[in-house]
Copies of this chain bind each other. A is one copy, B any other.
Amino acid sequence: MQDLQQGCRLLVVLVVVTGMVSANTSCCSYPCENGGVCMTTGMEGFQCDCTSTDFYGTLCETPTFLKRVKLWLKPSPDTTHYLLTHYNWLWDTVNSVNFLRNAVMKKVYTLRSDMIDSPVTYTSEHSYITLDANFNTTYYARTLPPVPYNCPTPMGVWGKKEMPDVDRIVKKFFVRKKFLPEPMGTSALFSFFAQHFTHQFFKTDVKNGPQYQWGGHGVDVTHVYGKDKDAEAKLRTFKDGKLKTQLIQGEEYPPLEKDAPVDMVYPPGTPEERRFAIGQKVFGLLPGLFMYATIWLREHNRVCDILKTEHPDWDDERLYQTGKLVILGETIKIVIEDYVQHLSHYNYQLLFRPELLFGEQFQYQNRITVEFNHLYHWHPLMPSEFNVSGTTYSLREFVYHPEVVLKHGMHDFVDSLSRQRAGAFGPFNHGPLTIPVVTDLLKQGRQLRLQPYNQYRKKFNLPAFKTFEEMTGNKELAKALEEEYGDINAVEFYVGLIMEKRRYRSVFGSSIVEMGGPYSVKGLMANPICSPKYWKPSTFGGDVGFDIINTASLKKLFCNNIKGDCPLVSFEVPDYVEGDVLHDEL
């Protein structure tokens, strides 16, 4: 680390002395450690502002005594992960003793969310703090500011003068040759959950540029109810709080666009009877998204019926608004206790208990960052084909064909997705339809001047990788990457995420978990409904609504809303045996 810093400073001095650039580039090597802020001083030199970091020294490199003790006591992310994924006997005990389970969960909440700066400090427009970062919500926020302008290289001071060609990178490292199955047995029901859930807040305003977005910066269930009051009005029946539906083969489905005229994205020529109206305009794209949209719609109307029985005096408006709050609560419950639980593969059973944060220092506000959006590009999880009740569909046959769900019926479709293996997250596993997406993403990452992958590792308390082999765990891959990037510190964000070796018992490498965890926990628990004034029975129509939230599960979500037998509802395929696919197979 010291060597690296010295090297950088030497380089900066060299650059200034030789007059290659006129600007002060001394912050291009991110010389300040531990969250210290680099500020140039005059035409050369820099200062690290170590205020509120618990570190001091020229580069904020020395911890205060108290911080030193804390650091010494704190296990590394890898140790914590090891603990949480081993020692079944320990976790069995913790899971069954309420106060222990609560104590662990409280720690998870605070440790994860403390990693996220709130209020947010940066956008993609400035490499320094601006007021706009907080007040202009049309921007995605930024965890790390962009690489300053006028730096020696696009990545600061490391790597080549020009970034490697995007198309070549994609071809060399991303294209799926043969389908690689997800090694932890993840099902396609999971992949579509991820896509469905996250697209309520990943809403890039492509027209204005990748630094802009048009969402509400969090879990706001707009993907069910529509992006604003106007859209909501089009999707509502205005009777008993319910949303519009249509009956097809005895089952409730989203209404057609002609009956609920919200903006939807369908290819030209899509026949009217396949143009379904959904809260999020892109959810006609895939049957899996359509399935989740349908199931939440049914759940909302089911909850409204229950609320109406409990509150015969309530009008449509109150049933609707309260139903929406219940659905939001259920969403967070299921995300934490089913979805994140599956992702984590922890032996500890996660909990959704907002009251654990009462009395803690915790900011009930959230912003979606560009980095979280990039990190959540999990296209390798998408299989190349789907087996639905014996019929095989290629992904291409899925795209813009929501009616596949109608054809098989909800029961069979859900059952099939639960049995369908997702793809492995990693290199060489982007299917042909997702290649344009990853190509664009890499271009955007460069346009947004994302800092090098290793800078993000450090920001999230992970050690920077020293070599390509350490990052990939694969000699051949390491060599190919080194040829392209030259320097491990010049690897760009998304490439790092995909190329990083998988963690033990994990769908992802350590970076996705250690970055994604904080973003997720913060985003979920900072929701207003988790704050003390909201989180009480009366907010959700009394005990009856509160109980729906507190007992919600993925399985119940489907089984309560599918007539007859319950299908298999699982984020893990039924025939899965741990360890059946190794990362080294790649």
Contacts and interface: CB of A to CB of B under 8 A. Distances in A.
Given A119-B528, A364-B363, A528-B119, A534 B129 contact: yes
Interface in A97-144: 117-119, 121, 126, 128-137
Interface-central residue, A117, A322, A531, by most chain B CB under 10 Å? A531
B537 A128 contact: no
Interface stretch (A5-13, A36-44, A67-75): A36-44
B130 A321 contact: yes
Given A135-B216, A531-B119, A129 B312 contact: no
A221 interface: yes
Nearest to A23: B313
A457 interface: no
Interface string A532-566: 11111111011000000000000000000000000
Contacts of A321: 126, 128, 130-132
A37 B536 contact: yes
A228 B361 CA distance: 32
A142 to B, nearest CB: 12
A109 to B, nearest CB: 14
Interface stretch (A47-55, A432-440, A504-512): A47-55
Interface in A25-64: 37-43, 47, 49, 51-52
A156 to B, nearest CB: 17
Interface-central residue, A126, A128, A216, by most chain B CB under 10 Å? A128
A541 B324 CA distance: 45
Contact of A313 (B43, B119, B529, B537): B43
A24 interface: yes
Q: How large is the interface on A (under 10, 10 to 19, 20 to 34, 35 or more residues)?
A: 35 or more
A259 B361 CA distance: 48
Interface string A352-372: 000000111111110000000
B365 A24 contact: no
Contact of A363 (B24, B363, B537): B363
Contacts of A221: 131
A318 interface: yes
Contacts of A541: 39
A311 B40 contact: yes
Contact of A43 (B47, B312, B533): B312
Contacts of A52: 358, 532-533, 535-536
Please list the 4 inter-chain residue pairs (A to B) with the smallest Cβ-Cβ separation, ordered nearest first.
A51-B536, A49-B538, A134-B528, A24-B313
5 contacts: A24-B313, A37-B538, A51-B538, A117-B533, A118-B531
